[in-house]
Amino acid sequence: MPTKQWFSRRGKVLFNRKKTLVSRSFSDQYPVLFVKANMPSRGAAVIAAMLVVAIAASLAALVFERQQLAVRSIENRMDASQIRWIERAASDWARLVLRLDARTTTMDHLGEPWAMSIQQTELDPTIYGGARAGTKDAKAVLSGQIQDAQARFNLRNLLQTLDQGQSDRSSQAGQLSALDLQALRKLLAAIGLDASYAEVIAAYALSPGFGRAADLLLVPGIDQTIYERMERYMIVLPQRSAININTA
């Protein structure tokens, strides 16, 4: 049973021998009951409350971060879509210029409108729909130039075909053109490369998978540096073609 005790008006705090808080009273007329309160239990409650707050804050931060990632992903897709539309517009403009050139002349040279390069033109934000096409220090610009594919050496010429007007491999005799092979050797020597690459390139040109200039990287001995020098002078077209000396 609890023990009754009278207190003075000063309301002193009483402790038992174990230094445990017992009770507090502000009256000397009414008895009170001794109630033992364990001090460490209050600290545990505070720690538990802090843990709950920390977990809630962590979950809120995680949800906010995922929401930000979702928003950024949507913005990136929108920006990529706007950039593709700009590239498509530039391609349509190039087709229009080439069609007009085909109607007006039969000889291509560097003095025609199609050969004029587009200098770096800053794009207005209304063109790319507010997409983040640029950076804080650089604005979004558009530049480009149409190049004549026949200004480069066509590696397809290394294959001697029965029908010069067809590109089907069924019509190929599977033999190398000695004249074009010699021209390739001279071209390699002119750009400062070993002329012996001509035979290796010609051997790979006979393979069915050889269909673009980037396939030169598969040729033994040709690394990225050598390929970059070759790529400016060589190309792979669907069929044999002559070199246009006006644009070469």
Instruction: Give the per-residue pLDDT at 15.
Output: 45
Position 181 confidence tier, pLDDT thresholds 50, 70, 90? very high
Instruction: For 41-70, write each residue's pLDDT tens digit.
Output: 667 788 888 888 889 888 888 888 888 888
The pLDDT tens digits for 217-244 are 888 889 999 999 998 999 999 888 999 9
Residue 127 has phi, psi (to 5 degrees) of: -75, -45
| pLDDT over threshold 70, residue 17 | no
Pull the structure tokens for residue 103.
């109607």
- The percentage of residues in the chain with a pLDDT greater than 90, rounded to a whole number, is 19
Lookup result for tokens 């009170």 = 32
Pick from 4-18, 169-183, 214-228: least confident: 4-18
| pLDDT score recorded for residue 29 | 46
pLDDT at 6: 42
Over the stretch 71-95, which tens digit does the pLDDT of each residue have? Answer: 888 878 877 777 788 888 888 989 9
pLDDT in tens, 108-145: 888 898 988 888 877 766 555 555 555 555 567 788 88
Query: In this structure, what token pair is assigned to residue 101?
Result: 């050139």
Query: 80 and 73 in contact (C-beta within 8 Å)?
Result: no
Does the global pTM surpass 0.85? Answer: no
Which residues have a Cβ under 8 Å from the Cβ of 210 and sit 6 or more positions away?
155, 204, 236
Interhelix angle 197-205/178-190, nearest 10 degrees:
130
Whole-number percent of the chain with pLDDT over 70 = 71
157 burial type by CB count under 10 A (0-12 exposed, 13-18 middle, 19+ buried):
buried
Maximal C-alpha separation, the chain:
127
